[in-house]
């Protein structure tokens, strides 16, 4: 080990970081843990290499074995999502979205998606309301899209089907995008796909948050419901390395996606994460259905336990959620604690990590993202740590102790550290790299 003071300083900081997370309750809806098998590949020699271009068509030499890795990765993903074509070169979910915009839109085309205040992701919102989005265009170009919003039922937390039909007919978008950053319930793809195609729209489904639930057959199946492409990040309900992919519903879309991905939106595509994604896909083939079921079971249970303790969990009449995500209105704590930022920080002091989030009605209350009226909770990471319904009740009680009983967060942090001692290993994954390779050989 190096004794360089800067190295030791950095290592010390990371040790503190790891200790903190090993003793906290991780509830960020956009994060997850990779297995030891995936982590080993992230530090392999692939981390040093370049492989621009498509399999067998590389710009760089030395990719004979990586071509085999990427081909296997794509094979496993195609099997999981029952798709004829997948491109795993985007380096994030945002880049996956950009790839689709680049492939299937031109400058100034109309794109329809849900707005950021009601749960839409920043990659499908306008850079400036007056000028439209910063993305789109032909391969390699950065152009602007005219972003229009799909009508949304703010209190039912979903797209308003009847109003959306009329809006699509009126706006005649070139791209309709489903999916969200706050994604409690399946979107009405089947109900809106026909009318979107009638006006000539390409349909994309941003599955970043629910990619694992889809692969585990516990959510809607967008490719069978009418979407043309599906984009996603691979590190939320799908517990792989941080990366993005584009999935096509039919083979004839492949060439546009390939040319948009390279040279349009990526250069080198982080080869070690392609290898890690292959292992994560193999893990998901074996464990994904059980994992996805438990994620949703835990989310519903946590929602119920919080609701019983006086928390304003959104959509109690709909069972709170059909995904990994819960949304809690914390405006009733405004006088005693504050709004989103204050609640987030107090929870963090108690080692409960859940992020502040806009509520669909915050715009009416004139609140913004800096201090919104809600918090967002995700159950995918605590599920991967082996927690089940019993632990959801314990977590709900910790929330109550912090926000309702006003117990010292330092004391609760110690109680949570004790609670976490039984949840230090990753479930629903391979125990070692060797076992991962053994499984891949027989799929």
Task: Kindly report, residue by residue over 73-118, the tens digit of the pLDDT.
Answer: 999 999 999 999 999 999 999 999 999 999 999 989 999 999 888 8
147 membership: H or E segment, kind and range: strand 146-149
Percentage with pLDDT > 90 across the chain: 82
Write out the residue range of the structural domain in which residue 78 sits: 39-283
299-336 confidence digits (pLDDT tens): 999 999 999 999 999 999 999 999 999 999 999 999 99
Considering all CA atoms of the chain, what is the largest pairwise distance in Å, rounded to the nearest integer?
66
Query: Is residue 332 a part of any domain in this protein?
Result: no
Query: Is residue 410 a part of any domain in this protein?
Result: no
13-60 confidence digits (pLDDT tens): 999 999 999 999 999 999 999 999 999 998 999 999 999 999 999 999
Mean pLDDT of 198-222: 98
126-138 confidence digits (pLDDT tens): 653 333 444 443 3
Task: Inform me whether the pLDDT recorded for 124 exceeds 80.
Answer: no
Query: Is residue 179 a part of any domain in this protein?
Result: yes
Q: How confident is the model at residue 439 (pLDDT cuts 50, 70, 90)?
A: low
Mean pLDDT of 360-382: 91
The gap between the terminal CA atoms of the chain, to the nearest Å, is 39
DSSP 292-353: HHHHHHHHHHHHHHHHHTT-EES-GGGTS-SSSEEEEE-GGGTTTT-SHHHHHHHHHHTTEE
Q: What pLDDT score was predicted for residue 118?
A: 82
Q: Label residue 130 exposed, middle or buried (CB < 10 Å: 0-12, 13-18, 19+).
A: exposed
247 membership: H or E segment, kind and range: strand 244-248
Q: How confident is the model at residue 366 (pLDDT cuts 50, 70, 90)?
A: confident
Query: Is residue 355 a part of any domain in this protein?
Result: no
Q: What pLDDT score was predicted for residue 441?
A: 55
Q: How confident is the model at residue 139 (pLDDT cuts 50, 70, 90)?
A: very low
Provide the token pair at 384: 């991967």
Task: Inform me whether the pLDDT recorded for 433 exceeds 90.
Answer: no
With contact defined as beta carbons under 8 Å apart, do 137 and 143 qualify?
yes
Task: Inform me whether the pLDDT recorded for 211 exceeds 50.
Answer: yes
216-251 confidence digits (pLDDT tens): 999 999 999 999 999 999 999 999 999 999 999 999
Q: What is the CA radius of gyration of the chain?
A: 22
* From 51-55, 149-153, 291-295, 430-434, the region with the lowest mean pLDDT: 430-434
Q: What pLDDT score was predicted for residue 432?
A: 54
Q: What pLDDT score was predicted for residue 134?
A: 44
Query: Is residue 181 a part of any domain in this protein?
Result: yes
Task: Inform me whether the pLDDT recorded for 344 exceeds 70.
Answer: yes
DSSP alpha helix (H) spans, 23-157? 36-42, 64-81, 93-104
Looking at every residue in the chain, the average pLDDT score rounds to 92
Mean pLDDT of 269-281: 96
pTM: 0.93
Q: What pLDDT score was predicted for residue 252?
A: 97
Query: Is residue 423 a part of any domain in this protein?
Result: no
Distance CA 91, CA 272 (A): 11
Q: What pLDDT score was predicted for residue 362?
A: 87
229 membership: H or E segment, kind and range: strand 229-233
Q: What is the CATH number of the domain that holds 50?
A: 3.40.640.10
Question: Chain centroid to CA 141: how far?
Answer: 26
Query: Is residue 157 a part of any domain in this protein?
Result: yes
Mean pLDDT of 196-208: 98
Q: Are strands 25-26 and 352-353 parallel, antiparallel or unpaired?
A: parallel
Task: Inform me whether the pLDDT recorded for 443 exceeds 70.
Answer: no
Residue scoring higher pLDDT (154 or 173): 173
- The structural domain count of the chain equals 1
Task: Inform me whether the pLDDT recorded for 143 exceeds 80.
Answer: no
Task: Inform me whether the pLDDT recorded for 411 exceeds 50.
Answer: yes
Distance CA 49, CA 67 (A): 12
Query: Is residue 240 a part of any domain in this protein?
Result: yes
Task: Inform me whether the pLDDT recorded for 387 exceeds 70.
Answer: yes
Q: What pLDDT score was predicted for residue 368?
A: 85
Task: Inform me whether the pLDDT recorded for 122 exceeds 50.
Answer: yes
């Amino acid at each position: 080990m190096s004794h360089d003071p800067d190295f030791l300083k950095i290592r010390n900081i990371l040790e503190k970081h790891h200790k903190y997370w090993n003793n906290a309750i991780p509830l960020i809806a956009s994060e997850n843990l990779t297995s030891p098998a995936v982590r080993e590949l992230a530090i392999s020699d692939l981390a040093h290499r370049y492989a621009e271009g498509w399999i067998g068509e590389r710009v760089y030499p030395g990719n004979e074995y990586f071509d085999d890795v990427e081909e296997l990765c794509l094979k496993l993903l195609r099997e999981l999502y029952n798709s004829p074509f997948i491109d795993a070169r985007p380096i994030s979910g945002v880049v996956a979205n950009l790839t689709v915009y680049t492939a299937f839109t031109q400058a100034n085309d109309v794109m329809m998606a849900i707005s950021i205040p009601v749960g839409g992701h920043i990659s499908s919102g306008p850079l400036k309301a007056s000028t439209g989005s910063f993305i789109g265009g032909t391969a390699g170009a950065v152009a602007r899209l005219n972003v229009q919003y799909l009508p949304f039922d703010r209190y039912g937390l979903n797209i308003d089907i009847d109003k959306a039909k009329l809006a699509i007919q009126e706006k005649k978008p070139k791209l309709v995008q489903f999916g969200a950053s706050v994604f409690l319930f399946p979107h009405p793809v089947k109900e809106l796909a026909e009318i979107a195609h009638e006006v000539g729209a390409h349909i994309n489904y941003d599955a970043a948050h629910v990619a694992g639930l889809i692969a585990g057959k516990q959510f809607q199946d967008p490719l069978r419901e009418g979407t043309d492409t599906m984009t996603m990040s691979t590190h939320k309900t799908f517990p792989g390395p941080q990366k993005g992919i584009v999935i096509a519903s039919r083979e004839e879309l492949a060439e546009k996606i390939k040319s948009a991905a390279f040279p349009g939106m990526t250069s080198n595509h982080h080869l070690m994460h392609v290898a890690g994604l292959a292992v994560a896909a193999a893990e998901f083939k074996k464990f994904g259905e059980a994992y996805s079921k438990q994620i949703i079971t835990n989310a519903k249970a946590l929602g119920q336990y919080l609701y019983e303790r006086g928390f304003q969990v959104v959509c109690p009449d709909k069972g709170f959620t059909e995904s990994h995500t819960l949304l809690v209105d914390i405006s009733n704590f405004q006088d005693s604690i504050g709004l989103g930022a204050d609640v987030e920080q107090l929870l963090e002091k108690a080692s409960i990590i859940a992020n502040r989030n806009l509520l669909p009605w915050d715009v009416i209350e004139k609140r913004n993202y800096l201090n919104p009226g809600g918090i967002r909770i995700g159950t995918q990471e605590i599920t991967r740590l082996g927690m089940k319904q019993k632990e959801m009740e314990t977590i709900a009680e910790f929330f109550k102790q912090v926000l309702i009983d006003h117990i010292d967060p330092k004391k609760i942090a110690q109680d949570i550290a004790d609670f976490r001692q039984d949840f230090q290993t990753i479930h629903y994954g391979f125990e070692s790299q060797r076992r991962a390779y053994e499984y891949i050989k027989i799929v």
